[in-house]
Amino acid sequence: MQLPILTDRPAPGQLADGWVRHLADCSSFHASDPLPMTIDEARQRGWDEIDVVLVTGDAYVDHPSFAMAILGRVLEAAGFRVGIVSQPDWRSCDDWQRFGRPRLFFGISAGNMDSMINHYTANRKVRNQDAYSPGGRIGLRPDRATLAYCQRARQAFKGVPVIAGGVEASLRRLAHYDYWSDKVRRSILMDCKADLLVYGMGEENIVEIARRLDGGQTVGSLRDMRGVAYAMGASESPPDDALVLPSYDQVRDDKWQFAEATRIIHHETNPYNARRLVQWHDRQAVVVNPPALPLSQEAMDRVYGLPFTRKAHPSYSDPIPACETIKDSVTIMRGCFGGCTFCSITAHQGRIIQSRSRQSVLSEIRDMAADEGFSGVVSDIGGPTANMYEMKCTRPEVEAICRRQSCVHPKICKLLGTDHGPLIQLMKEARQVPGVNKVLVASGIRMDLARRSPEYMEELVRHHVGGHLKVAPEHTDPEVLDKMRKPANVDFEGFREAFDRLSQQAGKRQFLVPYFIASHPGSDLHAMIDLAVFLKRNGYRPDQVQDFIPAPMDVATAMYYTEIDPFSKQPVYIARHLRDRKLQRALMQFFKPENYFEVRRALEQAGRQDLIGRGCDCLIPDKPPREALEARRRDANQRFRGEFVHDPAKDQRNKKKKKGKRKESRYEPGPGYRPKP
């Protein structure tokens, strides 16, 4: 099928709001009724069939912070009957058949996170908790959940369209480096065999897909939509207007080509000028249409004004950790123009800020305050970056042609509107809502923007900090910060000084909680040692350490895999081996006795023995403390547990066990959800 050439470009500042008229008045819906998860719940609504079955790897929480809740409610408001299949047993088709044959399509998502990041740490070890599962239990979804879920949907009902979406599908829509298998993988479309992939935030697209399929169109006719990707047949030709990326074979075999593909992909993310992309996988082409247009404020208000219960489905007996964290939070905007190379928000939500109206946010807070279970504290009023509310380019005609990767790096663009006035007014009115005792800002803030508004800083420090404020300077080394697209460390120091001064003036004992990343591309031992010295001089002792995880499609991931900066094509240092990553991690927590020997090894390896001893800047003493020796002894005992390295008896037992072991299923329960090639 040959698609029309995209010669028409959206007008500067054009927004996606035409679909809003298809959302019905929500007054007929009851917030006490979550979407059905069983056929009995569907029948209680008087439904004899389901139009759309949404399958998710997360527990079903009917809260606007959960993507499946938003998509389900949007479809419901547009007049469609929706069933939710949450964390299905992927070892059979039974859960996909619980509602019968869906009339329109299956919507597939791995959940709010990429399933591999959800399952594994930066050291490729299995996590001990899944925040999106009841009781935090692990193992309730498979690795690469999108693949398994799409395959089961096809097996359950042949001929029903399968639409993939969510973060996992969105960030794997083209050939990408997969950290857990340590190889370049094909577009997820080539493996999951979905008819269509929706990338980015999908409210507009999912309504349009449902409407057009309901009107009798085929799934193949949906390829003209923005914000979708699809795989063409071997006999089909891609559109003539497409920009051709290096092929899968090229990016797999040549790291320079992988870096070049990354550069092109990230240059084509502005919905006002992005071009259609094509990447060949052998004889098949994967086509990615330009991103969907950002939502208007009216559309944002309608979406977040839908009748969410803000609770987990009543079928769950155990609490869901992610729900407990965000249940009293309010999202005021989406998108981020920061463009940090290690972050997927810009690639998924876009860099254009989409804000709700002040009336919409206050209405949600009033509804929360009226709930008898409300604690009186709004735990967060923010978004990806809390202080980008209503910020946008002041020259729409320039924005329509701009391909800049960040509006704030290497310096804040002179055309960026950085007025904090609307946000300040919203914060003032939010804390005056009856029944609200406190409104906190818990999502990260952009410090370089905040420093431009002394009034915002004072408002934040006096009224919206619950003792601790999270900030993300990420590093201190100028070259590493440049690779991250983060501001210089002097910006953090200036923010800290202002925060401490304003807290003292307000008579409050408040602290910053800075987040730093270990092992980011460009960060070597010398850079991490400087960071450790900075932490000691300023009295910071981080409880948790962020290890860099190469997430699919991120610019920093391309640096990690290729050891090349995709934009400058200059070489980048990478801490690739586990031993190097452990040293960097230990340096960030140099004060822990159990890290003593690794910190010492790092200092000696870098030739910084001057930091061993009793000096003011010394990170560790000359002699190991008793706790360090005990920790090393415990570690040795755990490694060997009294057994010889070569135990003939153990070898014989393993041989017998292996001989009688049956062939393992690809989707075996228990520890069988470890990554497979």
Check which CATH number belongs to the domain holding 138 and give it: 3.40.50.280
Domain finish residue from 433, 466, 499: 466
* The token pair that represents 279 in the structure block: 């990447």
For residue 418, being part of any structural domain is answered with: yes
E strand or H helix at 108: strand 105-109
Residues 238 and 353 occupy one common structural domain: no
Q: Do the domain assignments include residue 285?
A: no
Q: Which residues contact 578 (CB under 8 A, 6 or more apart)?
A: 123
- Whether residue 349 contacts residue 398, with contact meaning beta carbons closer than 8 Å, is answered with no
Q: Mean pLDDT per segment of 10 residues, for the chain of length 677 residues?
A: 48 58 51 88 95 98 96 96 98 97 98 96 94 96 97 97 97 97 97 97 96 97 97 94 97 98 96 97 97 96 95 96 95 95 90 96 96 94 95 96 95 97 98 96 93 97 94 96 96 96 96 95 97 95 91 97 97 94 96 94 96 95 91 76 50 58 43 43
Q: Which helix (H) or strand (E) holds 311?
A: strand 311-312
**Residues 55 and 196 reside in one and the same domain:** yes
Distance CA 164, CA 166 (A): 7
SS3 of 505, please?
Answer: helix
CA gap 19, 225 in Å, rounded: 13
> What is the predicted pLDDT for the residue at 632?
86
106 and 224 together in one domain: yes
> What does the pLDDT read at residue 68?
95
Report which of 242, 233, 174 is spatially closest to residue 4, judged by C-alpha positions.
242
- Last residue within a domain, chosen from 466, 482, 517: 466
Check whether residue 68 and residue 183 sit in a common domain.
yes
Of 196, 226, 242, the last residue of a domain is 242
**Res 633: pLDDT:** 86
Cα 265 to Cα 558: distance, rounded to the nearest angstrom: 12
Contact 381, 460 (CB under 8 A): no
Q: Are residues 111 and 212 in the same domain?
A: yes
Owner of token pair 């309608």: 302
| pLDDT computed for residue 25 by the predictor | 47
Number of domains in the chain: 2
pLDDT at 443: 87
Q: What is the pLDDT of residue 634?
A: 84
pLDDT of residue 644: 45
In a domain, 345, yes or no: yes
Place of tokens 């463009």: 339
Domain of 394, CATH number, reads 3.30.750.210
104 and 216 fall within a common domain: yes
Per-residue pLDDT, 665: 41
> Which pTM value belongs to this model?
0.90
Residue 425 near residue 390, CB atoms below 8 Å: no
**In-domain check, residue 475:** no
Cβ(435)–Cβ(369) under 8 Å? yes
**Is 44 a domain residue?**
yes
Give the range of the structural domain holding residue 405, as residue numbers without chain letter. 328-466
Same domain, 179 and 42: yes
Tens digit of pLDDT for each residue in 250-308? 999 999 999 999 999 999 999 999 999 999 999 999 999 999 999 999 999 999 999 99
| pLDDT tens-digit map of 104-156 | 999 999 999 999 999 999 999 999 999 999 999 999 999 999 999 999 999 99
Position of tokens 């910190």?
599
Pair (334, 220) in one structural domain:
no
> Is 247 within a domain?
no
Q: Is residue 362 part of a domain?
A: yes
Looking at the fold, whether 76 and 214 belong to one and the same domain comes out as yes
Residues 360 and 218 both lie in one domain = no
Structure tokens at 383: 């978004």
Sheet of strand 468-474, all strands in order from the earlier edge strand to the far edge: 468-474, 511-518, 546-547
* Residue 141 lies inside a defined structural domain of this protein: yes
